[in-house]
Amino acid sequence: MRVVIAEDSVLLREGLTRLLADGGVTTVAAVGDGPALVAAVAEHEPDLAVVDVRMPPSHTDEGLRAALAVRAARPGFPILVLSQYVEERYATELIGGDASAVGYLLKERVADVAEFLDAVRRVAAGGTVIDPDVVVQLLGRRRVPTERLTGREREVLGLMAEGRSNAAVAARLVISEGAVEKHISAIFLKLGLEPTPDDHRRVLAVLAFLGHPA
């Protein structure tokens, strides 16, 4: 796997590069601002970009803006955003109308190398990875349409929003995969997500959870 890193801290850039290398991931470019990210993706055509939300010059949302520009130019391009704090607006803006191949993690998660590398691989493979702390905050604020779900169903949907597979959800909640499948079926029913050949109901359920129109 080949990645581009966009992070204005030289130390963190070097640390991420080393962590990725130890996990068998090659960093083809490591840049420090948004325009450089856009240029690096165009030049190297990597499999994934790891992007800090806040970069020069204003250190507000330049990294996010650059990530959105990359996604606009290359729809479906995998982006894993790292943030210092839980910033709900940035998480939902990144996902927008397409939750595939995107991730939003707090920087503290990088300390868990296995978890970080797992997130990198899942996003690169087209999955959705949302930091558990962001999920908790969104769950506390978004009441419709998830207010129709039971407590267990909300737990299952929250883990789905983190990008967890049925097996991973079952392991986390200490229930069977069959039980997880039943909960997911109930979630789809209550959210009005009928099976169609064109839609990915799991992604649509996550979007509903995050407060976006399906």
Query: Looking at the chain, which runs of residues are DSSP E strands?
Result: 2-6, 26-31, 48-52, 79-83, 102-106, 128-130
- In angstroms, what CA-CA distances link 56 with 65, 72, 174? 12, 21, 44
The whole-chain average pLDDT of the chain stands at: 84
Over residues 90-138, the pLDDT tens digits come to 666 676 656 678 888 888 888 889 989 999 999 999 888 888 777 666 5
Contact (CB, 8 A) for 81 and 93: no
Nearest by Cα to 101 from 137, 140, 130, 69: 130
Residue range(s) occupied by CATH 3.40.50.2300 in the chain: 2-131
Over residues 140-169, the pLDDT tens digits come to 555 446 678 888 998 898 888 777 889 989
CATH of 2-131, one of 3.30.420.10, 3.40.50.300, 3.40.50.2300, 3.30.2320.50: 3.40.50.2300
The position carrying tokens 């506390």 is: 140
Residue range(s) occupied by CATH 1.10.10.10 in the chain: 142-209
pTM: 0.69
Fold of 142-209: Arc Repressor Mutant, subunit A (1.10.10)
Gap between the terminal Cα atoms of the chain = 31
